[in-house]
Structure 1
Amino acid sequence: MPASSSNADTTSTNDIVEHQPTGGDGSKVVTRSLTQLKTMASAMEESQLIGREKEKYEMVKLICNQSGHELPVISVWGMGGLGKTTLVKDVYESQKLIGMFEKRACVTVMRPFILKEFLKSLIIQLSMQSSSEKKGAIDFGRSSRNTAVMVGVEELTKELARLLEGKKCMIVVDDVSSRAEWDHIIQHFPKLDSTCRIVVTTREESIAKYCSEKQENIYKLKVLEYRDALQLFTRKVFKEAIDLDKHPDLIEEAKLILKKCNGLPLAIVTIGGFLANQPKIAVEWRKLNEHISAELEMNPDLEVIRTILGKSYDGLPYHLKSCFLYLSIFPEDHKISRRLLIRRWSAEGYSREIRDKTAEEIADSYFMQLIGRSMILASKRSSNNRKEIDSCQVHDLMREICILKSTEENLVFRLEEGCSSNTQDKVRHLAVSSNWNGDKVEFESVVDLSHIRSLTVFGSWRHFFISENMKLLRVLDLEGTSGLFDHHLEHIGRLLHLKYLSIRQCDGIYHLPNSWGNLKQLQTLDMKGTCVCKLPKIIIKLRKLQYLFAGDCAPFCVNPDECLPDDLAKLCLACCAPKFLKDVERLDGDLDRQDVCTFWCHVVFPTLASRRLEPYGVVVPRGMRNLKGLRTLGLVNITNGKAILQDIRRLSQLRKLAVSGVSKKNSQEFCSTLADLSRLESLSVQSSVESGLHGCLDGVSSPPKNLQSLKVSGTLVELPGWIEGLHSLVKLVLESTWLREFDATMQVLGKLPNLAILRLRFHPFLPFDIKRGELIRLTFHREAFPSLMVLELLSVGGLGLVEFKDGATPKLEQLHLHPYGRDAGTYSSGFFSGLASLQSLKEFMLIDYGYVKEFLEDVQDQLARNLNGPVFKLV
Structure 2
Amino acid sequence: MEIVVGALPSLLPKLAKLLIGEYNLQKEVKGGIIFLQAELESMKVALEKISEMPADKLDKQDKLWARDVRELSYDIEDKIDTFMVRCKAGSKVAEDEQHGFKKAIDRSLKWLARPNIRRKIAIDIRDIKSRVLEVHERRHRYEVNSNRSVDKPIKVDPRVLVRYEEATKLVGIDEARDKVIRIFIQRNEVSKQQQDTIVSIVGFGGLGKTTLANVVYEKLKGEFDCSAFVSVSQTPDMEKIFNNLLYQLDKRNNIRIDVIVDDLREFLQKKRYLIVTDDIWDISDWKHIRCALPPNNAGCKIITTTRNMRVAEEVGRAYKMKPLDLHCSRILLYGRIFGHEGRDKCPNEELVEVSNKILTKCDGVPLAIITIASLMASKERNKLEWYEVYNSIGTGMENNIDVKNMRNVLLLSYYHLKPHLRTCLLYLSVFPEDYEIDKRRLIWMWIAEGFIQCGKQGQSLFEVGESYFNELINRSMIEPVYYMDTMKVRSCRVHDVVLDLIRSLSSDENFATSLYGMGHASPSQKIRRLSIQNGKVNEGTHGATVSMQQVRSAAFSSVVNLIPALARFEVVRVLHLENCDLSHGYNLKYIGKLVYLRFLGLNSTKIVHLPEEIGSLQFLQVLDISKDAISTLPFTIVQLRQLKCLYIDHNVTAENRIGGLTSLEELRYGQDSNGIIQELGCLTKLRALDINVCFRTEEQNMLVECLHKLQNIQNLSIRSIDRTGNLDGWVGPQSLRSLDIDGYLFSRLPVWMKHSHVQNLSFLRIRVKGLQQQDIDTLGKLPALRDLDMLPGDLTL
Task: State the TM-score, normalizing by the size of structure 1.
Answer: 0.66
The corresponding residue for 1:813 is none
Q: Which of 354, 357, 362 is 2:464 aligned to?
A: 362
Instruction: Please say if residues 537 and 559 of structure 2, whose CA atoms lie closer than 8 Å, have aligned partners that are also in contact.
Output: no
Cα offset, 1:316, TM superposition: 1.6
| Residues 98, 449 of structure 1: alpha-carbon distance in 2 compared, 3 angstrom cutoff | same
Question: In the aligned structure 1, how far is the partner of 2:789 from the partner of 2:728?
Answer: 30
Structure 1, residues 13-71: CA drift from partner, whole Å, max 9, x if none? xxxxxxxxxxxx9997875248x5676667x6568642121111111122344346974
State the 1:333 CA deviation: 0.7
In structure 2, relative to structure 1, the CA distance for the partners of 1:729 and 1:395 (3 Å cut) is: closer
1:228 corresponds to 2:321? no
Separation (CA, whole Å) in 2 of partners of 1:38 and 1:658: 54
1:619 alignment counterpart = 654
Q: 1:499 aligns with which of 598, 603, 625?
A: 598
d(CA) in 1 for partners of 2:351 and 2:506?
A: 33
Q: Which structure has the bigger radius of gyration?
A: 1
Indicate the residue corresponding to 1:392 in structure 2: 492
Decide which of 738, 741, 747 is 1:721's aligned counterpart: 747
| Preserved CA contact (<8 Å) 1:512 1:535 | yes
| CA shift in 2, pair 1:720/1:746, >3 Å | closer
Q: Residue 185 of structure 1: CA displacement?
A: 2.4
Q: Quickly say closer, same or farther: Cα 1:243–1:439, change in 2 above 3 A.
A: same
Tell me which of 83, 106, 115 is aligned to 2:229: 106
Change (3 A) 1:722 1:453: farther
Q: 1:124: which partner in 2? A: 247
1:251 maps to which of 349, 352, 358 = 352
2:111 aligned residue:
none
Q: Tell which deviates more after alignment, 443-452 or 304-313.
A: 443-452
Q: Distance in 1 between matches of 2:474 and 2:700?
A: 45
CA–CA distance in structure 1, aligned partners of residues 278 and 497 of structure 2: 24
| Local SS of the residue matching 1:210 | helix
| 1:343 and 1:360 in contact (8 A); partners too | yes
Shift of 1:119: 1.6
| Superposed CA offset, 1:302-328 (max 9, x none) | 222112122221222211111111111
Describe how 1:41-52 pairs up with structure 2 within 5 A.
45=166, 49-52=170-173
Give the alignment's Cα RMSD to 1 decimal. 3.6
- Which amino acid letter does the alignment assign opposite residue 55 of structure 1? A
Would you say the 8 A contact 1:547–1:630 is kept in 2? yes
Per the alignment, residue 592 of structure 1 pairs with none
The SS at the match of 1:448 is helix
1:526 aligns with 2:591: no
Does residue 647 of structure 2 align to residue 549 of structure 1? Answer: yes
**Stretch deviating more after TM superposition (248-257 or 271-280):** 271-280
Provide the rounded CA distance (Å) in 2 between the counterparts of 1:722 and 1:680.
Answer: 22
Distance (whole Å) between structure 2 residues aligned to residue 482 and residue 98 of structure 1: 62
Q: Secondary structure at the match of 1:287?
A: helix
CA contact (8 A) 2:731 2:752 kept: no
1:477 touches 1:500 (CA, 8 Å); kept in 2? yes
Q: Structure 1 pair 750/371, CA: closer, same or farther in 2 (3 Å)?
A: farther
Three-state SS of the structure 2 residue aligned to 1:79 is coil
Deviation at 1:667, TM superposition (A): 3.3
Alignment coverage as a number of residue pairs: 631
Change (3 A) 1:168 1:666: closer
Q: Which position in structure 2 is the counterpart of 1:645?
A: 677
> Structure 2 CA distance, aligned partners of 1:110 and 1:28?
21
The verdict on how the C-alpha distance between 1:125 and 1:339 changes in structure 2, with shifts beyond 3 A counting, is same
Cα distance change of structure 1 residues 294 and 528 upon mapping to structure 2, 3 Å threshold: closer
- 1:82 — aligned with what? 207
Tell me what 2:424 maps to: 323
- The match for 2:361 is 260
How far apart, in 1, do the equivalents of 2:227 and 2:567 lie?
68
Q: What residue number does 1:710 align with?
A: 740
Is residue 431 of structure 1 aligned with residue 431 of structure 2?
A: no
Taking a change above 3 Å as real, the CA distance of residues 201 and 495 of structure 1, as seen in their structure-2 partners, is same
1:310–1:47 CA distance, 2 compared to 1 (3 A): farther
Q: Secondary structure at the match of 2:394?
A: helix
Give how far 1:500 is off: 1.0
Distance 1:219 1:301, change over 3 A: closer
Q: How much does 1:521 deviate?
A: 1.1
Equivalent residue runs for 1:393-792 within 5 Å? 393-416=493-516, 420-423=520-523, 425-434=525-534, 436-442=535-541, 445=544, 448-464=547-563, 466-485=565-584, 487-507=586-606, 509-550=607-648, 552-553=649-650, 616-621=651-656, 624-635=659-670, 637-639=672-674, 641=675, 644-654=676-686, 655-664=688-697, 666-685=699-718, 692=722, 694=724, 696-697=725-726, 700-702=729-731, 706=736, 708-712=738-742, 719-721=745-747, 724-725=750-751, 727=753, 728=761, 730-732=763-765, 745=769, 747=771
Does the alignment pair 1:173 with 2:277? yes
Measured in 2, the distance between the counterparts of 1:487 and 1:749 equals 60
Q: Secondary structure of 1:710's partner?
A: strand
Counterpart-to-counterpart distance in 1, 2:590 and 2:548: 16
Report the residue type matching 1:520 in the other structure: Q
Give distance in 2, aligned partners of 1:47 and 1:335: 37
Corresponding residue for residue 176 of structure 2: 55
Deviates more, 1:439-448 or 1:325-334: 439-448
Counterpart AA for 1:250: L
* Structure 1 position 169, deviation (Å): 0.9
1:371 aligns to 2:473 (yes or no): yes
Name the CA distance, whole Å, in 2 between partners of 1:83 and 1:532.
Answer: 50
Is the partner of 2:187 in helix, strand or coil? coil
- Cα 1:61/1:722, change in 2 over 3 Å: closer
Q: SS in structure 2 opposite 1:416?
A: coil
**SS of corresponding position for 1:516:** helix
Counterpart residue type for residue 255 of structure 1:
N
Corresponding residue SS for 1:293: coil
How many Å apart are 1:116 and its aligned residue? Answer: 1.6
For residues 193 and 447 of structure 1, what CA distance do their matches in structure 2 show?
Answer: 72
Superposed displacement of residue 466, structure 1: 4.5
Distance 1:46 1:411, change over 3 A: farther
Secondary structure at the aligned position of 1:535 is classed as: coil
Gaps of 5+ in 1: 1-24, 129-136, 145-150, 554-615, 735-743, 757-785, 800-875
State the one-letter code of the partner of 1:721.
Answer: S
Q: Quick one: which amino acid aligns to residue 627 of structure 1? A: T
Contact in 1 for aligned 2:536/2:559 (Cα 8 Å): no
Which amino acid in the other structure matches residue 477 of structure 2? Answer: M
2:278 aligned counterpart, secondary structure: strand
1:199 match: secondary structure: strand
Identity within the alignment, %: 26
Task: Report if aligned partners of 2:273, 2:300 keep a CA contact under 8 Å in 1.
Answer: yes
Alignment match of 1:183 (pick from 269, 287, 311): 287
Distance 1:480 1:411, change over 3 A: same
Contact kept, 8 Å, 2:643 with 2:664, in 1: the verdict is yes
Deviation at 1:513, TM superposition (A): 0.8
Q: Which is worse superposed, 650-659 or 62-71?
A: 62-71
Deviation at 1:246, TM superposition (A): 7.5
**CA 1:185–1:666: 2 relative to 1, 3 Å:** closer
Q: CA deviation at 1:171?
A: 1.1
User: Aligned partners of 2:350, 2:632: CA distance in 1, in Å?
Assistant: 56
* Contact kept in structure 1, 2:748 and 2:770, CA below 8 Å: no
Conserved? CA contact 2:203–2:306, under 8 Å: yes
Q: What residue identity is the alignment partner of 1:74?
A: V
Quote the Cα distance in structure 2 between the aligned partners of 1:227 and 1:619.
54
After superposition, residues 118-157 of structure 1 pair within 5 angstroms as 118-128=241-251, 137=252, 140=253, 144=254, 151-157=255-261
- Structure-2 separation of matches of 1:797 and 1:703: 22
Q: Using the TM superposition, give the Cα deviation of residue 485 of structure 1 relative to its aligned residue in structure 2, in angstroms.
A: 4.9
Q: Deviations over 1:806-843 (max 9, x none)?
A: xxxxxxxxxxxxxxxxxxxxxxxxxxxxxxxxxxxxxx
Change (3 A) 1:431 1:194: farther
